[in-house]
Amino acid sequence: MRRRIKGLILLDMILALILLWSAAVRQNGAYSGVQADVANVGATGTVFQISEETVTEDVKKICLTFDDGPHPYYTEQLLDGLKKRGVKATFFVTGEHALLHPDIIKRMSEEGHMIGNHTYSHLQLGSSNLEEFKEELVRTNEVLEEITDQEVIYVRPPYGSWDKRLEQELNMIPVLWNVDPLDWCRTDVSGIVQNVVVDISENDIILMHDQYKSSVTAALEIVDELLEKGYEFVTVEEILFE
């Protein structure tokens, strides 16, 4: 009887250790599937075999952002390519372009892309135009909210010029970038692509523009290459707050 009790206690300990190990492995993302199989049962006890089904790595998230649009042709072309690849991006649009092409703004929203504020006329904040800059942000928010029926929270200040006081006054979050291939001033697609994919890292925010054919072509090539490398494209919100 005592041997039987000791055997049951030992079996319980083994099961507990296996469950703890399996939970730790799943939490760390080392394996996508782990299962414990009863190999055989005999007088000496139960033997367990741990089998590894597949080994996977954690998903590496990055964000692709586009400024200055929407463009009546190139943005549509870009949206077609992103939809085909199942990729979501973030678009920082100007109010004046949004007014000219509301259908494209609606499409961005309906297809799950994030839309942010890039001022009304691409105004750069300076030392003497804070109020004008603020008015452009407010005006652009009104335009975008009228089109999409969604609140606009994120802002990409032109040229990165920003005043932190606006964050509380307007309840908006500025979004800058850390990967800039300078696609707005060059047309060599391969060069733009290489400037992004060579040194890309997890949680990077890529700055591009949807106003140029070369930029759109390069962006889709970048997406293809980075998808092959195991990256997942997400919106700004997921990079900043997850």
Question: 215: how many CB neighbours lie within 10 A of its CB?
Answer: 24
Rg over CA atoms, the chain: 26
User: In angstroms, rounded to a whole number, what is the distance separating the alpha carbons of residues 50 and 135?
Assistant: 63
The residues annotated with a catalytic role in the active site are 67, 209
Please name the amino acid found at residue 240.
L
What 8-state DSSP symbol labels residue 181? -
User: In angstroms, rounded to a whole number, what is the distance separating the alpha carbons of residues 45 and 77?
Assistant: 65
What 8-state DSSP symbol labels residue 60? E
User: In angstroms, rounded to a whole number, what is the distance separating the alpha carbons of residues 234 and 239?
Assistant: 7
Secondary element (H or E) of residue 33: strand 31-42
